[in-house]
Amino acid sequence: MSSTKIFLKSSDDKTFEIDETAARASETLKNIIDGGCLDGVIPLPNVSSNILPKVIEYCKKHGGDNGSSKKIANGGVDKDKEILPDYDEEEDKREKVRVDELKKWEEEYMDFDQQVLYDLMLAANYLHIKGLLDLTVEKAASMIRGRTPDQIRENFNINSDFTPEEEEEMILIEDEWDDEWAFD
């Protein structure tokens, strides 16, 4: 693999270096590289210097390895492999270890507060890094799952922006659903 360096400039004008192979984890960067429009530094006006190193860290881990998150989602087993005639058990074991290690890495990588979560999700969305977007979306989902509207507002620091009338109506709808639920 070539180890061409690419430079990324954050919204606050700081420049970061990344290997081309790692940068290819981002669809957006990959298109720029393949499009031949590479002109020294790629400006990323939507990503700040707080977040960009975090994004680069992810890309380094996943660069040139687009299938990794899919394998994790399948419980680390690549089903296609089983039907190949030259199926290698040892190879499969090594793959499993690699996937487990990656899972552990992702767990540590994702240990940050809510503020980083949104910015990282925005960056992943903007740069089209599917695996990273998936991780951040799942983390956000786990923060909402099973909570009441009041708990969610509190957790996410949201002020209800409904008018008092709408609020009233919401409570009515909520009660109606609770009634239906009670029969279940």
Return residues touching another protein (CB under 8 A): 114-115, 118-119, 121-122, 125, 133, 137-138, 140-141, 144-145, 148-149, 152-153, 156-162, 170, 173-174, 177, 180-181, 184
Which residues are 42's β-sheet partners? 8
Q: Quick one: which of 53, 58, 50, 63 has its CA closest to 23?
A: 63
C-beta of 22 vs 132, nearer to another protein: 132
C-beta of 67 vs 149, nearer to another protein: 149
C-beta of 14 vs 81, nearer to another protein: 14
Q: Quick one: which of 69, 70, 57 has its CA closest to 22?
A: 57
Query: Least distance from C-beta 166 to another protein, angstroms?
Result: 9
Q: Half-sphere exposure (CA, 13 Å, Cβ side) for 134? A: 11
Number of Cβ within 10 Å of residue 46's Cβ equals 14
C-beta of 15 vs 46, nearer to another protein: 46
Query: Least distance from C-beta 3 to another protein, angstroms?
Result: 33
Query: Least distance from C-beta 134 to another protein, angstroms?
Result: 9
- How distant, in Å, are the alpha carbons of 32, 88, 146, 167, 171 from that of 151? 43, 50, 10, 16, 15
Query: Least distance from C-beta 53 to another protein, angstroms?
Result: 16
Q: Quick one: which of 130, 104, 177, 117 has its CA closest to 24?
A: 130
